[in-house]
Amino acid sequence: MPFDDIHVHQVMLADELRTRGYKTAINEIVQPGSTVLDFGCGTGILSFFAARAGAKIVYAVDKSRFIRVAKALSEKNGFSNIVFFHGDGDELNLPEEVDVIVSECMGNFAVDEWSLGSLFSLREKYLRTGGKVIPGRISIRAAMIGDKEIHNELSYFKTKPYGIDFSTIEDWPYYRCEGRRLTPSQVLSPASNMGDIDLHTCREVPGSYSGTCELEKESDVYGICAWFVARLTDNIVLDTGPLALKTHWNQMIFPLVEPLHVAANTQLKLTISLERDKKGKQTLWRWFVDDGSQVIKMDNFVSAAWVMRDLPIGELT
């Protein structure tokens, strides 16, 4: 995510379910006199909410240079108790413990922005015993995709467009995952819980998420759709799933290269795992579906051998 781009910040702030949800959560948790850490402050919006809720001091950190804007907005709006730190959360040195840590660093799959590890380190270092983290809990959910249209769209190269044989790459579009907004009719019920992360206690971000899903009807399955539900407080839940109200987050779709025909009441075991490549630039995903008789294994590395390796400039031999 390019967090130095004003458009990205506008999209996030204009997502009222997200931003008002955080505001309500901050008003519930931050008490007059609280000390607060805003990890990944962006425009500073969550720091401003915390200051308005009565925080004595707010420490706001962000590694993006956009934090200059946050500081300018803080001054413009007359906040005098927000201290800004430009830099990675891992390198932050605070003069004291805090009562509350607030953060919104979730990608479509929650953990795919790779910031939760730093949040956990900050919590261990700076959250006072009994202090609160917003969000307190994140759950990963998944459902099967039952819509053929997405599958057909991904089969483009199989149609031999312009009379060219693209069979070398025709399956590549299926070995890719991406964020899309799905409609309720595109997913099969029920959804499956793939794992929960308690942000007050978890020390290491899980790299693998699994669940089971028993489809109610006989179906053709075209892939997995996954999203997250964040419990900002015990009372405030932010659901980014296809059945919930629209937020700026998309669901992640993980296609299957061949549709899987599933009888009613078959149990499917789903696994989605992710890791960062060695340079920390790409997220490497794997997704598996096990219907009891076969395990379909997919990943997004298929094109990597072709496009990631160095290629000398000049005529190809």
Ligand X SMILES: C[S@@+](CC[C@H](N)C(=O)[O-])C[C@H]1O[C@@H](n2cnc3c(N)ncnc32)[C@H](O)[C@@H]1O
- Round the CA-based radius of gyration of the chain to a whole number and report it: 22
When asked if residue 88 is in the footprint of ligand X (CB under 6 A), the reply is yes
Tell how strand 237-239 and strand 219-231 pair up: antiparallel
* Bridging pattern class, strands 178-180 and 237-239: unpaired
CB of 143 to ligand X, least distance (A): 25
43 binds ligand X (CB under 6 A): yes
Q: Which of 16, 28, 91, 113 is catalytic?
A: 113
Strand (E) or helix (H) holding 275: strand 267-276
Convert residues 12-31 into a mask of x (bound to ligand X by CB under 6 A) and - (unbound). xx------------------
Active-site residue identified among 104, 124, 149, 170: 104
Continuous H helices in the chain: 6-14, 16-29, 45-52, 67-76, 116-126, 148-154, 304-307
Among 26, 30, 41, 202, binds ligand X (CB under 6 A): 41
**The residue count for the chain:** 317
Does the annotation count 75 as an active-site position?
A: no
Distance CA 137, CA 25 (A): 13
Minimum distance between the CB of residue 3 and ligand X, rounded to whole angstroms?
Answer: 4
Question: Taking the complex as a whole, how short is the minimal distance between the CB of residue 11 and ligand X, in angstroms?
Answer: 10
Q: Which of 40-48, 50-58, 203-211, 230-238 is the region at the interface with ligand X (rule: CB under 6 A)? A: 40-48
82 binding ligand X? (CB under 6 A): no
Is position 104 annotated as part of the catalytic site? yes
Of the pair 45, 197, the CB lying nearest ligand X is at 45
How many angstroms separate the CA atoms of 106 and 288, rounded?
23
Which is nearer to ligand X, 37 or 41 (by Cβ)? 41
Nearer to ligand X, 8 or 304 (CB): 8
Instruction: Please report whether residue 115 would count as binding ligand X according to CB under 6 A.
Output: yes
**Whose CA is closest to 239, among 92, 110, 88?**
110
Work out the angle at residue 245's Cα, subtended by the Cα atoms of residues 239 and 251, and round it to the nearest 5 degrees.
Answer: 60
Closer residue to ligand X, CB minimum distance, 39 or 287: 39
DSSP 250: P
Residues that bind ligand X (CB under 6 A): 3, 12-13, 40-43, 45-46, 61-64, 88-89, 104-105, 115, 118
Q: Which residues are catalytic?
A: 104, 113
